Structure 1
């Protein structure tokens, strides 16, 4: 018999624990602690209560929970001593049908893993979609995670425990995240398109106006039109895919609009969800509205922006810049690595540059812009939270710098006579770290460091470096930049060096609009989840739209410690489902505020 929340909320502790038996392997104490957090209004709230029980239990209890899990394809499986849940999961993953080579490989990796970390390797073998991982994927993941730091792997083991528990709870409640599956499956289908040279290696790369890029656009347009029921679908003059779902008004062309979306291009060898999640989530919402025959008091306009990453050409936010009326025609003369200009690429794709000015949106017609995005960071993952509400997109500034000293012989130049440019930059790096660490919400990074024509036996006479500074406000960012430049001057004066520092990029901070952010707050709360506010350290299309209309963002937890711009970027269909439900709450909240 399937569980129901109302029934579960009314049970005494012993019965509550009994009904949740098997969710957490040999660990009834997790349910005992969660019982005290009743009543649960949503399944998501129950899931988080169980997670919170583990988070507050202490390291010893957490370690015991990890050790309560059996090895994959281990002694308990061979002896048929697994719990019913574990036996079903390992069997569905095909671990009972391992070849002798696969079995030996897993046994050795298991032994190495346990010897290193002190607990067995734990993996939710039913995977992020719930359909199951292949034996090859399981072995590859085990080998990869064997190289993780011990504290990281301890946390990752617990995250896998919670994912296993989530799937088992879904089974007990008969819950299937159908909408989340739709988004997850569409992301997989889009990932089939990749640029030449990358596709052959199984890597996802989609850069502006390549055949893979155009195939993505056409696919999105078909989904919008046929599967989701948008009233108007077009690919515009810069390659944006635009879908509109009309308002309930008798004259929908004059009704207000809510703008949403994200980008469908990727970085080289990137992930499947960066940008694309923010297109597919509102598409899923429109699909549900259409299925229900329901209209809103405003139109929904979903834009799959054609370019945000700046991978083929240096023009970034090309797609959203066209909507704000800030498309720079000088970009048309930029050339890619093969010497093809942006103008040529657009013409070959059938796009007309003379139509670009007409893409500018009139801000007064729009209620604002909202964007759903994978977090691209470890915060939500570390907090065991599926959703986070963004407060501001950080302002950023970038510099390219060079210190010039004097190259000299490494063996014959006494230490006190050196003008070592590399050591001076190293000193600056430490200051950068200390300065940024002193202020919450401020980050500073030296991501590029080079000694031109360096040699093992030469004191570096030159050292080049990059500097990236980001903060929730422009004032905090600029204060950090000023202090770093002052320290650079002091270092160079003391060491008798020269320097150059050129600003390469500057983007203003984009605080989220309070009214729209409050709608996201209400949406997350309605799902029964704790509310977590956070800044965005990465740039998004929302920061470009912020220049002309209110904007607000919702972050979705990423797997693998939130890694992004990487093939390991991933989400679960359960978290995708929650983001869709949050978006549905948001559009209802926005509609309720209209006259």
Structure 2
């Protein structure tokens, strides 16, 4: 068994152990700030501390381990991903990147590498946005772009974000001080499962991410009139669910007609006061739009809003259109991507470039630092699902590539320093 396979096996054991910690007995669920999240974070923290790293938890709940350069004025290079999950999640989305990063730092410690820059490994506390319906809470704090107005948001139990942070031991007054100043960033690297089928179908272990699609999340509510299912004539109804159903199918058709440029999804449907013998009077559904093209994303948003308004008008329904979140498409850093592509070639693999349709913590970080991402092949591209899986050979390949990438980064940084000194 070669070195990378041995390391991959150890990472897999850790991923499996972390996956046993969940809010639910069936599946894996670790939402931001929940007892299961805190237990999982404590486990990862124990591994970090066992590697003789300087470890701390910041005020938003990010877990941060640091290897310090002998140069106190050095910049910081960040390895990161997240450890929160969606509901009924897979094992690899997020934890793979964190635990791969931990393995990288363990190797540097064992080899006593003299670093020309600081390296910080961050396990972000909230990327998925499940509990408070807003993504990137953890990485926005580190990037210095956290929106203070979010502190008043409530979860489905009425617990504010402020209260959740306080319960976790954080201090909302300290959030701004947990950011890495823009001038101190050297760069950002995130390894993540592809969450798509390209690498699986081509049997290629890794890929370079060139861009991350922009996203718009909308909460759409159709309001009609609740009534008795047996007494209101069919042609006199204001059925909010029928209107929502028409919109759901319209979203699907819209996405299919433009599938080369955009994806459109309705993933949630809430029928208020639902009963089998009641005509639905108030129905809310979600809308998730994604595209790497900012103009097409804006155009799709406006077109579907117009379509929803037309459905509501035709059916004599009220409509509430609430934009919950929007992020612009993000391009990964060309220089960092060139180093990553070079590392893939040196490791003996074909260089594949992909656009990520999923959002990642690299989105807010890219506003303050050169960001690059490595995709790792996953089973049939399945993600956000218990069937999510990664083979050890692909994880070993990702370790090989990341080793070479970090080595090249260190060498190139030292070369620049020498040139400046001369």
- Choose the corresponding residue for 1:524, options 344, 347, 350: 344
Instruction: Give yes or no for the alignment of 1:235 onto 2:64.
Output: no
Larger Rg: 1
* Root-mean-square deviation over aligned CA pairs: 3.2
Matched residue count: 413
* Corresponding residue number in structure 1 for 2:38: 214
Give the SS at the match of 2:402: helix
- Choose the corresponding residue for 1:351, options 143, 166, 170: 170
My pick for the range that moved more, 576-585 or 251-260, is 251-260
What is the TM-score normalised by the length of structure 2?
Answer: 0.85
* Corresponding residue number in structure 2 for 1:475: 295
Give the SS at the match of 1:254: coil
Shift of 1:423: 5.1
Shift of 1:452: 5.0
My pick for the range that moved more, 340-349 or 564-573, is 340-349
Structure 1 residues 238 and 433 mapped into 2: Cα distance closer, same or farther (>3 Å)?
Answer: closer
Q: Runs of 5+ in structure 1 lacking a partner?
A: 1-169
1: distance between equivalents of 2:216 and 2:322?
11
* Corresponding residue number in structure 2 for 1:135: none
2: distance between equivalents of 1:460 and 1:365?
55
- Choose the corresponding residue for 1:504, options 320, 324, 337: 324
Instruction: Give yes or no for the alignment of 1:194 onto 2:22.
Output: yes
2: distance between equivalents of 1:495 and 1:332?
38
Q: Runs of 5+ in structure 2 lacking a partner?
A: 417-422
Shift of 1:203: 3.6
* Corresponding residue number in structure 2 for 1:26: none
* Corresponding residue number in structure 2 for 1:578: 397
What is the TM-score normalised by the length of structure 1?
Answer: 0.62
Q: Retained in 1: the 8 A contact 2:15–2:91?
A: yes
2: distance between equivalents of 1:320 and 1:299?
18
Q: Retained in 1: the 8 A contact 2:145–2:364?
A: no
1: distance between equivalents of 2:170 and 2:382?
35
* Corresponding residue number in structure 1 for 2:187: 368
* Corresponding residue number in structure 2 for 1:252: 71
Q: Retained in 2: the 8 A contact 1:373–1:555?
A: yes
* Corresponding residue number in structure 2 for 1:79: none
Q: How does 1:36-435 map to 2 (within 5 A)?
A: 177-195=5-23, 198=24, 201=25, 203-227=27-51, 229-230=52-53, 232-247=54-69, 251-314=70-133, 316-336=135-155, 340-403=159-222, 422=241, 424-435=243-254
- Deviation digits for residues 435-493 of structure 1 (CA, Å, limit 9, x no counterpart): 32325241001223455567778876665432211111221111111222333344455
Structure 1 residues 431 and 233 mapped into 2: Cα distance closer, same or farther (>3 Å)?
Answer: same
Q: Retained in 1: the 8 A contact 2:4–2:400?
A: no
- Deviation digits for residues 370-408 of structure 1 (CA, Å, limit 9, x no counterpart): 111112233322332221221222111122224456778
Q: Retained in 2: the 8 A contact 1:334–1:341?
A: yes
